[in-house]
Amino acid sequence: MYIWLLAFLWLGLDQFTKYLLPKFLNWYESVELIPGILRLTLVKNKGAAFGFLPGRFWLFVPVALAFIIFIIAKRETIKEIPLAKLGAPLACAGALGNVIDRVLYGYVIDFIDVPFFSIFNVADIGIVIGIILLALGFYFSERKQKDGINRD
């Protein structure tokens, strides 16, 4: 149960940063933090994470909500897998954070600018790390089950 506190904290951090940064930065303005490596650049992302599939942002609302419902439905299985137990709340918080933006503004607020990669936000970090942890958790769990079956 405490692990879902992580989801609320991550969602809070995401929404707080998206609330705060537009008060200090103009849209599409950059502030260099680490030259050539990290900038803050406030952008309106009408696509998916990292700007993929621009213009189809309403498609992502039902997909994100379906993902969250799936995770909730599988919560009993997930809580038995340590990596998945960490990944699920992060991924759900990230998905919900971006859904909130899409519903309120019609776009997602992105601001973490890695010039050689993309511009993203706290929610995107949660989605990526969460999905990786979920995938690894399920992979290792499945492998452990198969190894146990093969030994008998």
Catalytic residue among 14, 101, 113, 124: 124
Chain centroid to Cα 49, Å, comes to 8
Type of residue found at 9: L
Cα separation, 116 vs 105, whole angstroms: 27
Positive or negative CA dihedral for 51, 13, 87, 62?
Answer: negative
Measured CA distances, 79 to 1, 2, 31, 112, 142 (Å): 9, 11, 41, 31, 15
101 is catalytic: no
Does the annotation count 124 as an active-site position? yes
Indicate which residue of 14, 101, 110, 113 is catalytic.
Answer: 110
Catalytic site residues?
A: 110, 124
